[in-house]
A and B are shown apart, each in its own frame.
Chain A
Amino acid sequence: MEVSLTVNGRNVSSDVEPRTLLVHLLREDLDLTGTHVGCESGYCGACTVHLDGKPVKSCTMLAVQAEGADITTIEGLANGELHAVQEGFWERHGLQCGYCTPGMIMSAAGMLAENDSPSEGEIKHGIEGNLCRCTGYHNIVKAIEYAAAKMRGDEPAEPEWEVSS
């Protein structure tokens, strides 16, 4: 079956089986391996991409459902320079092994696009659909707070490791 969609601003078409999942179209047909596959059951969020600007899990969507859709993957987030959330993860050490990171960043970017002043609780609620087995989430929350400050045009808080006691 032919499916045509926009991925990271590029029009693409591919011949897929109806049962092909969107994540496999992205990774295998389009070579966009930044989107990860973790649980493949809808729970870990490693496969999160934006569908018409909103975070969705690409392992729980058929490629054919994305006909005509506008998809953004982690590869399409930076626009010449790193997206504020990518910078935040870099600056505030929001990752260890990095497996969850593309999905985390896509969820965080989706959240901040709707609300650039989330509370700590709202940030945690916003990444509820993304699991991280390494960091304990603390620095992920700090990274998102950094990105939110940047997006508002504020100075991000000092990193905790540089705050003298």
Chain B
Amino acid sequence: MYPREFDYVAPGTLDEALAVLASNPGAKIMSGGMSLIPMMKLRLLSPATVIDIGRIPGLDAIEDRGDHLAIGALVRHAQTASSDLVTTYAAALAQAAALTGDVQVRNRGTTVGAVAHADLAADTTAAVLALGATMVARSSAGTREIPASEFFVDTLTSALADDEILVELRVPKSGEGESSAYTKLGRRGGESDYAVAGVAAWVRKTNGSVSDARVALTGVGSKAMLSSGAMDAIIGSDGSEAAIAAAADRAADGISVLEDLYGSEEYKAHLAKVYVKRALGAALS
């Protein structure tokens, strides 16, 4: 399996990459290539130009910026999964990274690339939604910040414009009383491969009650999305087992669940409940 022919450009700076992108409409950015290359081999995508950002220095760091962590465009899943900063301050993201693909995929694929790719069953997407992250996009015209809640538009479709490169992911650091978790059922069983259903939960506890929460589903609908039913139910509750069960019951409220090769609508709606319960349980434990 070979991709169709394409021109390959590997710019040494971000500005150069943005200029090439601006002058080549339809060009594709490549970071880890773990989704782009398979799609090109299957000829689902045949861009005339591939812009490999893999050689641009300075994009591979995870930085502590006080109230948030900044994850550069070339930070690999493996790096996110094993980072002390991410594990401590954004646990759901580290867990999602650790459960993405296999070792070889995690050594190449990037956290930011997975967000840009916006697969409906990706792991990282749910984590960034639940954590309330912000995407930083750059084009030759300037820089734009996109909240995670506005980023995922549809299957494989994000709010990113054709001439933009996602340069950084900003994840608010979980502080006092805040915690998060990600759990999933994988397509190959257990936690292996893309999510049949995956749930990321973030909670804040103040004086014994849940004062704020975000619960995000992946693999269940056409894109990663927040579960407003579960969030409404858990916010203001005492976070007890009964409250978690009540929130889980409302996991798929108002969500159009999509059946696929891995499960019927009913099954997926059921899994959404099971995994909301587990993710909230883990975040509140």
Binding site for B on A (CB under 8 A): 1, 17-21, 40-42, 45, 48, 51, 54-57, 60-62, 64-65, 67, 107, 110-111, 126, 128-130
Given the known interface contacts A18-B50, A40-B1, the answer about A61 and B108 at a Cβ–Cβ threshold of 8 Å is yes
Q: How far is the CB of B192 from chain A (nearest CB, A)?
A: 6
Complex: A84 Cα to B78 Cα, angstroms: 25
B107, CB-defined interface residue at 8 Å: yes
Q: How far is the CB of A11 from chain B (nearest CB, A)?
A: 19
**Across the interface, do A60 and B2 meet the contact criterion of CB distance under 8 Å?**
no
A17-B5, A19-B3, A54-B78 known; 7 new pairs, CB 8 Å cut-off, are A19-B2, A21-B2, A41-B38, A56-B104, A60-B108, A61-B108, A130-B102
Q: How far is the CB of B162 from chain A (nearest CB, A)?
A: 21
Q: Give the one of B38, B42, B55, B78 with max A CB within 10 A.
A: B38
Q: How far is the CB of B88 from chain A (nearest CB, A)?
A: 21
Residues of B within 8 A of A111 (CB): 103
**Across the interface, do B54 and A129 meet the contact criterion of CB distance under 8 Å?**
no
Complex: A21 Cα to B3 Cα, angstroms: 9
Given the known interface contacts A54-B107, A129-B105, the answer about A67 and B10 at a Cβ–Cβ threshold of 8 Å is yes
**Across the interface, do B6 and A41 meet the contact criterion of CB distance under 8 Å?**
no
Complex: A107 Cα to B105 Cα, angstroms: 12
**Across the interface, do B103 and A128 meet the contact criterion of CB distance under 8 Å?**
yes
Where chain B touches its partner, the secondary structure class is mixed
> Which positions 44-79 of chain B face chain A at CB distance < 8 Å?
50, 52, 54-55, 78
Binding site for A on B (CB under 8 A): 1-8, 10, 30, 33-34, 37-38, 40-42, 50, 52, 54-55, 78, 101-105, 107-108, 192
Residues of A within 8 A of B78 (CB): 54
**Across the interface, do B4 and A55 meet the contact criterion of CB distance under 8 Å?**
no
Complex: A1 Cα to B102 Cα, angstroms: 31
**Across the interface, do A1 and B1 meet the contact criterion of CB distance under 8 Å?**
no
Residue on B with the closest CB to A50?
A: B107
Complex: A110 Cα to B106 Cα, angstroms: 13
Q: How far is the CB of B75 from chain A (nearest CB, A)?
A: 14
Q: How far is the CB of A103 from chain B (nearest CB, A)?
A: 9
**Across the interface, do A62 and B108 meet the contact criterion of CB distance under 8 Å?**
no
Residue on B with the closest CB to A21?
A: B2
Q: How far is the CB of A37 from chain B (nearest CB, A)?
A: 10
**Across the interface, do B6 and A19 meet the contact criterion of CB distance under 8 Å?**
yes
Complex: A111 Cα to B78 Cα, angstroms: 13
**Across the interface, do B4 and A45 meet the contact criterion of CB distance under 8 Å?**
no
Residues of A within 8 A of B105 (CB): 42, 57, 129
Complex: A20 Cα to B3 Cα, angstroms: 8
Residues of A within 8 A of B2 (CB): 19-21
Complex: A56 Cα to B109 Cα, angstroms: 10
Complex: A88 Cα to B52 Cα, angstroms: 39
Residues of A within 8 A of B103 (CB): 55, 107, 110-111, 126, 128-129
Kindly list the 7 A-B residue pairs having the minimum CB-CB distance in the complex, ordered from nearest.
A129-B102, A18-B8, A128-B102, A54-B107, A129-B104, A57-B104, A19-B3
**Across the interface, do B104 and A18 meet the contact criterion of CB distance under 8 Å?**
no
Q: Which residue of A18, A21, A51, A110 is within 8 Å of B6 (Cβ)?
A: A18
What are 19 inter-chain pairs, A to B, with CB distance below 8 A?
A18-B50, A19-B3, A19-B6, A40-B41, A41-B42, A42-B105, A54-B78, A60-B108, A61-B33, A62-B8, A62-B33, A64-B52, A65-B30, A65-B33, A67-B55, A107-B104, A126-B103, A129-B101, A129-B104
Residues of B within 8 A of A61 (CB): 33, 37, 108
Complex: A74 Cα to B2 Cα, angstroms: 24
Residues of B within 8 A of A40 (CB): 1, 41
Q: How far is the CB of B122 from chain A (nearest CB, A)?
A: 15
Q: Give the one of B5, B8, B10, B34 with max A CB within 10 A.
A: B8
Residues of A within 8 A of B34 (CB): 42, 60
Residue on B with the closest CB to A47?
A: B104
Given the known interface contacts A54-B107, A107-B104, the answer about A60 and B33 at a Cβ–Cβ threshold of 8 Å is yes
